[in-house]
Copies of this chain bind each other. A is one copy, B any other.
């Protein structure tokens, strides 16, 4: 009998001892009454998403966990963000991550995010797409992500991702001139296009009625786009081709949606799922239940709030999100029971006191049918995980899921 698979990734889940939590980790401090139900037939341990000590990005880690070696396939974050924001990329397109920002006439940055919540963002992106002309024969397209985030795509012949960012990543600095990062003609041409683009975007945005209205209300105008992370889009191996698992991702974050789409997964964002601490995780649970009952073999459920709380340095919020995840899992178990393979892990650690990703190994729990030999688990956290039997890398995960769900093919005879 082939088991269905529920795989939950809580972004940045792993942590260290937190002073504000009486030296407990957030996962240790959180009440986990529903996850606890899984302990009687689960194995736990530690996963190194890439390899021990490597600090993963969310993109490289998710690739690895889904069986695609980032050392071979990773070409930067830009293309994933763009795809997650709805872009259709062709092999060879160059994608950038962008921020709407506020600059003065000398292109000195006043606010890197133009106040962050730009309610006219969709309209500004629409205006840009209507007014922008090809530059040196290269087409430009804009896609709105969330809040101040945009993706910018260059399409055409003879371009390259070997160009530097225009985003100095600090207010008070001037917008940078993009420079070629290698000696190629393509990089030279692309950097010139990017610099021309910076000016044209400013010309369009600074005269937009939406920005004139913002200024009239005393708000910062979103009059520039800062670019970073140029990445040539490269077709990825598809998760279903590698594993045979028909999979849907339930996720709200553009980057993760982009990775999932690039791997050929279906993607669904329930209303109310925001990618933030306030995300409606019960809506995600309901979506997961629906898809598990359909013909999907696997539902990948992504929660971003743990990472968001960590980057904000807010341990109480991280505990809160973990307790929401516990309730989310409870809702799923209440609906369809635990006769599934259920994986719970993070894509990396983001210690709240560090406010950044770290290369510590990530706690990993795998609930399996009762005949399979498991660990004797007293709790699921960073400390108990060190005593469990699982000690794997991200690239092992897909094989383990196939094995315990009775889908693996024998290697040899």
Point out the residues of chain B lying under 8 angstroms from A392, CB to CB.
Answer: 52
Q: Which of A361-413 contact B (CB under 8 A)?
A: 361, 370-375, 382-383, 386-389, 391-392, 396-404, 406, 408-413
| A58 in contact with B353 (CB, 8 Å) | no
CA distance A55 to B19 in the complex (A): 44
| A17 in contact with B413 (CB, 8 Å) | no
| A360 in contact with B389 (CB, 8 Å) | no
Copies per complex of this chain:
2
Chain B residue with Cβ nearest A16: B371
Point out the residues of chain B lying under 8 angstroms from A310, CB to CB.
Answer: none
Q: Which of A333-372 contact B (CB under 8 A)?
A: 351, 353-354, 356-361, 370-372
CA distance A65 to B17 in the complex (A): 28
| A59 in contact with B370 (CB, 8 Å) | no
CB distance from A69 to the nearest CB of B (A): 12
| A53 in contact with B403 (CB, 8 Å) | yes
Point out the residues of chain B lying under 8 angstroms from A388, CB to CB.
Answer: 386
Q: Point out the residue from B18, B19, B60, B412 that lies within 8 Å of A77, measured CB to CB.
A: B412
| B403 in contact with A57 (CB, 8 Å) | no
CA distance A391 to B359 in the complex (A): 15
CB distance from A380 to the nearest CB of B (A): 13
Point out the residues of chain B lying under 8 angstroms from A389, CB to CB.
Answer: 46, 361, 386-387, 391
Given contacts A51-B396, A51-B399, A413-B58, contact A17 B408 (CB under 8 A): no
> At the interface, yes or no: A25 with Cβ under 8 Å from chain B?
yes
| B359 in contact with A408 (CB, 8 Å) | yes
Given contacts A17-B370, A373-B16, A373-B25, contact A400 B52 (CB under 8 A): yes
A interface residues, Cβ below 8 angstroms from B: 16-19, 25, 43, 46, 50-61, 70, 74, 76-77, 229, 255, 351, 353-354, 356-361, 370-375, 382-383, 386-389, 391-392, 396-404, 406, 408-413
* Known contacts A356-B410, A373-B382; 17 further A-B pairs (Cβ under 8 A): A17-B370, A50-B411, A52-B392, A53-B397, A53-B398, A53-B403, A53-B404, A54-B403, A55-B410, A56-B412, A57-B411, A58-B413, A351-B371, A357-B410, A358-B408, A360-B372, A373-B386
